[in-house]
Amino acid sequence: MKCIINRRAEFSASHRYCLSELTSAENIQLFGDGSRFPGHGHNYELYVSLEGELDDYGMVENLSTVKKVIKQEVTSQLNYSHLNDAWPEFQETLPTTENIARIIWQKLEPHLSLVNIKLYEHPKLWADYQGKNMEASLTVKTHFSAAHRLASPQLSLEENTEIYGKCARPHGHGHNYHLEVSVVGKIDSRTGMLVDLGALQQVIDDYVVEPFDHTFLNKDIPYFAQVVPTAENIALHIANLLSSPIQSLGAELDKVKLIESPNNSCEIYCRLGGSQNSNNTLTKELEPAISI
């Protein structure tokens, strides 16, 4: 039986998004504040996932060896560095989060049985890379606050209470929702980006955060006039709203995770097990995976 283990590491480094073939004005237009000289820094958090059979000692790989390899091949070279100058690969393709994850994979793959590299630039932005050439995923985390009532318009208060309990009370209740949007795409061989991050964040704000924030979902969002705004239905609706705009940015919506509370979250996988109709609307075949 195979097992996946995860090893965490961290490093602090600076970087700058700037292409030598562009003028200063062109770099600012393309990368915004990320192009400013001399750059900016992050406390990166790295998770290295390995897969394998358990050996006679009950291990996939000796963690002391894993720790040594990660330090030798990655963190000792990147910690307190200017990433653009740390590795020659970043002269060709800029050190974006997704591209750093890709190059870390290349450094570690000869030594470890990798299945995933997850790199956090900060708690609201991270990338995953799984060795698929230039393909990677990028996740943006945001939040909104909203109220809802779990009640079907076709049922009586007593019937709704039987199904939804206290959540069916007429005046509803509220949550501080945390939303994670993951997209997949090809890393551009020069810019290092799989999607324009600013444009992605703007799409999420325009289609979800601004319309949903500080609303009573049942009353203020037309879709939920007839659809009960459970976490599952909210996540599915968000996936439907975002799929086409994200596609227009040159990426593909991979996953929507909605965290309703510390005890309740829902994930919609938009590429696996689902389909799209001719209007690029995700269908109900996308089954939510709920963790409570």
- Whether 139 contacts 126, CB under 8 Å: yes
| 147 and 221 Cβ atoms separated by less than 8 Å | no
190-212 per-residue burial string, b: 16 or more CB within 10 A, e: under 16? ebbbbbbbeebbebbeebbeeeb
Q: Helices 231-248 and 197-204 meet at what angle, rounded to 10? A: 140
| The two three-digit tokens of residue 18, written as one number | 């700037």
Catalytic residue among 40, 122, 173, 214: 214
3-state secondary structure 242-265: HHHHHHHCCCEEEEEEEEEECCEE
Catalytic residue among 98, 121, 252, 260: 260
Token pair for 174:
């509220």
Residues linked to residue 47 through DSSP beta bridges, in sequence order: 8, 118
Q: Is 40 a catalytic residue?
A: no
User: Catalytic pick from 51, 82, 89, 167?
Assistant: 167
For the question of residue 167 being annotated catalytic, the response is yes
Annotated catalytic, 260? yes
H-only helix segments in the chain = 24-31, 63-70, 76-78, 83-86, 89-92, 97-108, 157-164, 197-204, 210-212, 217-220, 231-248
Strand partners, 14: 41, 82
Tokens read off for 209: 């955060």
Residue 202 is classified by DSSP as H
Residues designated as active site: 167, 214, 260
